Structure 1
Amino acid sequence: MPTLHWIGKDKVINHHHDVPFKVLDHQYTFNGNGPPVTGTSPNKIIHGDNLEALKALLPEYEGKIKCIYIDPPYNTGNENWVYNDNVNDPKIRKWLGRVVGKISEDLTSHDKWLCMIYPRLKLLHKLLAKDGVIFISIDDNEQTNLKLICDELFGNENYLGNLIWRKKEGGGQTDKYFVTEHEYICAYQKSNSFYWIDTIVKKQESEFNKADKNGRFKLTKLEKWGSAARKEDRPTMHFPIVDPNGIDYLPTAPDGNLGRWRIGKTTMNNLIESDLIHWEQRNGKLIPYEKTYHTTDGETTIKERSIIYNLTNTADASKSLTEIFGKKDVFDTPKPFTLIEFLILHSTDQDAVVLDSFAGSGTTGHAVLNLNKQDGGDRKFILIEMQDYAENITAERVKRVINGYGKKEGTGGSFEYYELGETLFVGENSEYLNEAVGIEKIRNYIWYSETRNFLAPTNQHSKEDTLLGIYHNTAYYFIYHPTHLTSLDFETLATVNVKAGQYIIYADNCLLSKEFLFKNNIVFKKIPRDISRF
């Protein structure tokens, strides 16, 4: 499979490992006009660099996000985005803090964009559930590059296709060659466990205008019509079937040449065996049709088209923001929330977690809240925005959607607002634990690094409570005190009061022999040396 190479790729392939782990610092809970939130809200808005924020989400959300939608910079040269990832490479350090210009003016703009997006996609892949999907809005500037790196990270076999969204009507007279009316939404599944939910519509009973002993049915021609209808287009779908007179019948294309069927041989044989082929006399010859019976549920499924015409455009999205904030020009080129609703509705169930790490004006949060109001769902959102408008625009929009604006009734709901906090490890080489983050977050991190599971924080631990938990018959202990060194010795071992097949015990020192540890299935890990970094 072809792969893409660019300046700095070798330095960013594993850069996500070098990103410092920061804790999420809770600022407030917003519940609008509703009753007080019991516990915490499942929805999060995070202000901070999205690369660091994505890493901070790993302990709680790795493998749990059902739908990711992102709208990253398109690299048009007009967005004023700045490359700010602290990659340890002299060439890349020259880019830090500088606005990325137009391709015609900045010969490394593609390299910068790829260095920015690659480690973020790596972390997004980790967060995505096995049956999850990622949608990425993009335009022609980086679409081909995006496809190649997504093939590399997600696998070409998991590419679902490009949706083409018509973003505007009219205008564009200043475009050099063509009036560009569309953008792309590149879609990848995590694995083949993902399923797309087709639209279900009421059947039009008038279509079922034939009847036999089994009920009413409609006819659909079995010969392919329209484009790619010739034999040479799909040779394996050109084969004979036997008509009621015992004569072999071969498909014919609309232009009179040898044609092909709509379906393959296996499906055709199933129709024949199920007596679902109807022969009609047309122009002096028998023509085969597929029979589809009208079912009592009165519903049928409709496949969505790859070109999205019928959803609102950027002008409608700007108008919606004006209605929400009561003023114009709140945000440049927002996406309509109906577009995000469309993606969520077709790719998730009603209790899915939806993540947007380029949250912008908060469109994804708006879409989730609106869908929940419509169908009573319990979808959750996580929004990450690094710019200073994270609270004044991103969070403020979500607040107004929850409470209602103008004549629009509120959706209800709540969210937690976070800032990126301190790093878990400090020191020149990150060799010390940062006690300022609190013992709960350290315990949480260690549990995740060992089990890849989330240890829900609790304030009920006493200073003597060293058990993290039991996972796969292994008990994990974290013996730590911020003011003095701790030791794994016979005295502390006496506090180990659970039965397990193995014990992994963290402490500052170990005073027990290797033989004793081996005999009793104990693994000692030194704090902080043996705490994994990820």
Structure 2
Amino acid sequence: MPTLNWIGKEVVVKHHKEVPFRLLEPVPQLSLPSPAGKGAGGEGDFGGNLIVQGDNLHALKALLPRYAGQVKCIYIDPPYNTGNEGWVYNDNVNSPEIKKWLGEVVGKEGETLDRHDRWLCMMYPRLVLLRQFLREDGAIFVSIDDNEVASLRLLMDEIFGAGNFISTFVVQKRVSPDNDERLVTAVHDYLVCYGKNKRSCQFARLARTEKADARYENPDNDPRGPWTSSDLTRREYREHDFYPIKLPSGREVTPAAGRSWSVPRETFQRLLAENRIWFGRNGAAMPRLKRFLSEVSGGMVPTTWFSSDLAGDNQQSKKELRGILHEQTDLFATPKPTKLLQRILQIATDKDSLVLDSFAGSGTTAHAVLKQNAEDGGKRRFILVEMDENIAQNVTAERVRRVAQGYSKSALTPGPSPASGRGEKAVAGLGGGFQFCRLSAEPLFDADGQIRRDVTFAQLAEFVWFAETGTGFPLPQPLSRGERGEKYSPLLGVFEGRAIYLLYNGILKDKSVAGGNVLTGAVLDVLPPFAGPKVIYAAACRLGGARLMREGITFKQTPYVLAV
């Protein structure tokens, strides 16, 4: 199988392991609690939605302990690497942040990288981390254009496995030519899709359109209703399926050379008896199979062509963003249409799915999640990551805030407003909320490998669960609450038949040595019981080996076993 190589690859393929785990620090003044009865959550919570401001490589590492293996759909719109330095994301991947990162990670060799090498160095560790978030039946969609689509395919073949490639969708991004182009106008982008495990993936069928239904007619007044016909031959010769058919007109026909009928003779006779074979209005045409509209009412199988009428285009998306944010629209030349993201959600998510976008930009993914929930009663949740502080606060979060609460197209401030003097109407809110977080300046572990003193039980519990199981640990409540120890139990949960415990930060309310952080006989007596094997994380252990074996306990000392 072809592989992709570039300058710096040997260094970045394992770089995700070297990225430190940081903590998510809530910013209450930038968060939006969900109103009672609206959105996915209840009064006072955030609907399970999260917006994180910070470098997406560090943010993904921080999110893994909570969300690994829980995301149904990932959508990202990374830099296209066009060579254009005028975009907000500095699209030739030559930004000061990327240069600094390459200098630190790749070293002196990075000075010789061209823009394609830099793009691959940036993308590789992020895609490696993103894969860990997907459920077994989850899928990732990546927007890209001709500049890097070939490299992206090979990159994702390596990370996700070539056998998990699902499709490359073609997305119409404009409906008219650009006469300023010297040779041709690109009117499409690509949407590359891979599954975590393709065999486990199932895509929903799309609602039928009037245009699609119009193809069904009933020229023979069949009582089963409108139908269309399909070819009854296959592009392959099979001796058993090559036989003559006599038409109502009396003429005898066989498939063309190199072809055969798509059904054996016995099946054809049954279909003929059921009036499912069409020979044309005069009975002299090659036979075709009748397919009834009533049999496809469950919807249409998605195609690889996303036309602008189904998924929007750049002109529509810029107009949409201008109507919501007004003064901030110049930051984005080509925001993605909400209709495109809704199309992805309709195909690849259930009504309670978790959706992740680590290149959040203008916040289209969150907007689409809230809109789709409002339309079908779903409780999908989103996680967005945006690197730029200004964009995260004033574009990403602000857009989500306005579409959730309602806004006026004629005003510069969010909130439902009466129609303006120009007759512009207020747009009703979709409901929902979000928690806004930043990344901690310091990692979970200090320079000496010790757990930082300000780390809460809830924060360490996420990390311990992930280190032990490789899966995400959902908190009982949002980060802005639940920092009090009584909200939690030292028994984090049971995974694959073993109970996982954490003794840390006074979880047992000082009933024993070191506030319950040390495993002693007295501590063991008050732990929630479990009949099977137990893994206990604690600062120290005072039990002997015989007692540990008798109780089925595997002891793991913090922080040393956690210094991943």
**Superposition TM-score, scaled by structure 1 size:** 0.84
Counterpart CA distance in 2 for 1:517 and 1:466 is 18
Match of 1:301 in 2: 299
Cα distance 1:531–1:129, how it changes in 2: closer, same or farther (>3 A)? same
Cα distance 1:306–1:480, how it changes in 2: closer, same or farther (>3 A)? closer
Counterpart CA distance in 2 for 1:64 and 1:473 is 20
Out of 461, 478, 486, the position equivalent to 2:485 is 461
Cα distance 1:349–1:510, how it changes in 2: closer, same or farther (>3 A)? closer
2:11–2:105: 8 Å Cα contact kept in structure 1?
Answer: no
2:8–2:106: 8 Å Cα contact kept in structure 1?
Answer: yes
Q: How far is 1:165 from its partner?
A: 1.6
Out of 196, 208, 217, the position equivalent to 1:207 is 217
1:22–1:424: 8 Å Cα contact kept in structure 2?
Answer: yes
Q: How far is 1:294 from its partner?
A: 5.3
Cα distance 1:3–1:519, how it changes in 2: closer, same or farther (>3 A)? same
Q: How far is 1:22 from its partner?
A: 1.2
Find out whether 1:13 has 2:13 as its counterpart. yes
Q: How far is 1:462 from its partner?
A: 4.5
Q: Secondary structure of 2:560's partner?
A: coil
After superposition, give the CA deviation of every residue in 1:254-285 in whole Å (9 maximum; x if it has no partner): xxxx3646x8457x865554545525278885
Cα distance 1:455–1:365, how it changes in 2: closer, same or farther (>3 A)? closer
* Matching of residues 246-285 of structure 1 within 5 Å: 249-252=253-256, 258=257, 260=259, 264-265=262-263, 270=267, 272-275=269-272, 277-278=276-277, 280=279, 285=284
Counterpart CA distance in 2 for 1:184 and 1:463 is 46
Match of 1:101 in 2: none
After superposition, give the CA deviation of every residue in 1:476-508 in whole Å (9 maximum; x if it has no partner): 332335895954333433334513222222233
Q: Secondary structure of 2:562's partner?
A: coil
The one-letter amino acid of 1:356's match is D
2:60–2:129: 8 Å Cα contact kept in structure 1?
Answer: yes
The one-letter amino acid of 1:399's match is R
After superposition, give the CA deviation of every residue in 1:51-96 in whole Å (9 maximum; x if it has no partner): 1111222222222211111100011121424354987987723588
The one-letter amino acid of 2:373's match is N
Q: Secondary structure of 1:432's partner?
A: coil
1:46–1:383: 8 Å Cα contact kept in structure 2?
Answer: yes
Find out whether 1:109 has 2:123 as its counterpart. no
Match of 2:419 in 1: none
Q: How far is 1:236 from its partner?
A: 5.7
After superposition, give the CA deviation of every residue in 1:400-455 in whole Å (9 maximum; x if it has no partner): 111222222221221111111255533336x1111212222112221232233415
Match of 1:353 in 2: 354
Counterpart CA distance in 2 for 1:359 and 1:463 is 32
1:219–1:289: 8 Å Cα contact kept in structure 2?
Answer: no
Deviates more, 1:323-332 or 1:118-127: 323-332
Match of 1:433 in 2: 451
Find out whether 1:222 has 2:231 as its counterpart. yes
Find out whether 1:478 has 2:502 as its counterpart. yes
Find out whether 1:381 has 2:382 as its counterpart. yes
The one-letter amino acid of 2:218's match is F
Structure 2, unpaired ranges of 5+: 410-424, 477-481, 507-512
2:171–2:307: 8 Å Cα contact kept in structure 1?
Answer: yes
Counterpart CA distance in 1 for 2:539 and 2:215 is 75
Out of 66, 81, 92, the position equivalent to 2:106 is 92
Cα distance 1:474–1:350, how it changes in 2: closer, same or farther (>3 A)? closer
Find out whether 1:292 has 2:291 as its counterpart. yes
2:74–2:355: 8 Å Cα contact kept in structure 1?
Answer: yes
Q: How far is 1:395 from its partner?
A: 0.5
The one-letter amino acid of 1:73's match is P
Match of 1:420 in 2: 439
Find out whether 1:166 has 2:172 as its counterpart. yes
Deviates more, 1:416-425 or 1:283-292: 283-292
Cα distance 1:481–1:15, how it changes in 2: closer, same or farther (>3 A)? same
Counterpart CA distance in 1 for 2:292 and 2:316 is 41
Structure having the larger proportion of residues in strand: 1
Out of 498, 518, 529, the position equivalent to 2:549 is 518
Match of 2:428 in 1: 409
Counterpart CA distance in 1 for 2:3 and 2:243 is 45
Q: Secondary structure of 2:78's partner?
A: coil
* Matching of residues 132-171 of structure 1 within 5 Å: 132-171=138-177
Counterpart CA distance in 2 for 1:531 and 1:25 is 21
Q: Secondary structure of 2:81's partner?
A: coil
Counterpart CA distance in 2 for 1:109 and 1:60 is 34
The one-letter amino acid of 1:434's match is R
Deviates more, 1:29-38 or 1:360-369: 29-38
Counterpart CA distance in 1 for 2:489 and 2:376 is 44
Deviates more, 1:123-132 or 1:25-34: 25-34
Out of 47, 51, 57, the position equivalent to 2:57 is 51
Out of 521, 527, 547, the position equivalent to 1:490 is 521
Q: How far is 1:396 from its partner?
A: 0.6
Cα distance 1:513–1:376, how it changes in 2: closer, same or farther (>3 A)? closer
Match of 1:193 in 2: 200
Counterpart CA distance in 2 for 1:508 and 1:480 is 8
Cα distance 1:247–1:125, how it changes in 2: closer, same or farther (>3 A)? farther
Cα distance 1:498–1:147, how it changes in 2: closer, same or farther (>3 A)? same
Cα distance 1:146–1:12, how it changes in 2: closer, same or farther (>3 A)? same
The one-letter amino acid of 1:4's match is L
1:322–1:330: 8 Å Cα contact kept in structure 2?
Answer: no
Cα distance 1:215–1:461, how it changes in 2: closer, same or farther (>3 A)? same
Match of 1:72 in 2: 78
Counterpart CA distance in 2 for 1:205 and 1:148 is 39
Counterpart CA distance in 1 for 2:216 and 2:52 is 52
Match of 2:133 in 1: 127
Cα distance 1:221–1:169, how it changes in 2: closer, same or farther (>3 A)? closer
Cα distance 1:479–1:64, how it changes in 2: closer, same or farther (>3 A)? closer
Cα distance 1:463–1:529, how it changes in 2: closer, same or farther (>3 A)? farther
**Superposition TM-score, scaled by structure 2 size:** 0.80
Counterpart CA distance in 2 for 1:33 and 1:456 is 21
After superposition, give the CA deviation of every residue in 1:305-356 in whole Å (9 maximum; x if it has no partner): 4233334321221121211123352422211111111111122222222211
Q: Secondary structure of 2:447's partner?
A: coil
Structure 1, unpaired ranges of 5+: 99-105, 253-257
* Matching of residues 496-507 of structure 1 within 5 Å: 496=527, 498-507=529-538
Q: Secondary structure of 1:302's partner?
A: coil
Match of 1:336 in 2: 337
The one-letter amino acid of 2:204's match is I
The one-letter amino acid of 1:24's match is L
The number of residues matched between the two structures is 508
